[in-house]
Amino acid sequence: MLSCKEVATRASALIDGELSTWEALQIRLHLAMCKGCDRFVGQIRTTRDLTETIAAPEPLDEADNGRISAILSQLDEGKQQGG
């Protein structure tokens, strides 16, 4: 039987669906009997979901608009020099 440490190491692989059927089954057996690991895998799943929740992009502020203008003007200069 896998130790809790071994289960914890494989937590991401389990929730990302990267384990073989046999490996996943061994872990699920452990989780059925071990509350600590079951909770830990739940924590990693929540963490994954939170990191994949993308904050809405910030609206452009004045500084951004200035930077965008600077970027675009550099390109115009390059084109004039080139052509």
Partner 1 sequence: MGKADADETELVQLLVAGDRPAFERIYRKHNAALIRVATGIVASRATAEEVAQDTWIAVLKNVASFEGRSSLAGWIFSILINKARSRAAREGRFVSFDGEGEDDNLAAAFDGRGRWKDMPDLWEEVTPERILAGRSVMDHVAAAIETLPAAQRSVIILRAQQGLEAEEVCEILGISEGNMRVLLHRARLAIRTALDGLM
Q: What residues make contact with partner 1 under the rule CB under 8 A?
A: 3-6, 8-9, 11-13, 16, 18, 35-37, 39-40, 42-44, 46-48, 50-55, 57-60, 64, 67-68, 70-72, 74-75, 78
Tokens in use for 6? Answer: 């071994």
Q: Tell me the C-alpha distance between 14 and 16, whole Å.
A: 5
* Interaction partner, residue 20 (Zn ion, partner 1, none; CB < 5-8 Å by kind): none
Q: Tell me the C-alpha distance between 44 and 59, whole Å.
A: 31
Rule CB under 5 A: which residues touch Zn ion? 4, 34, 37
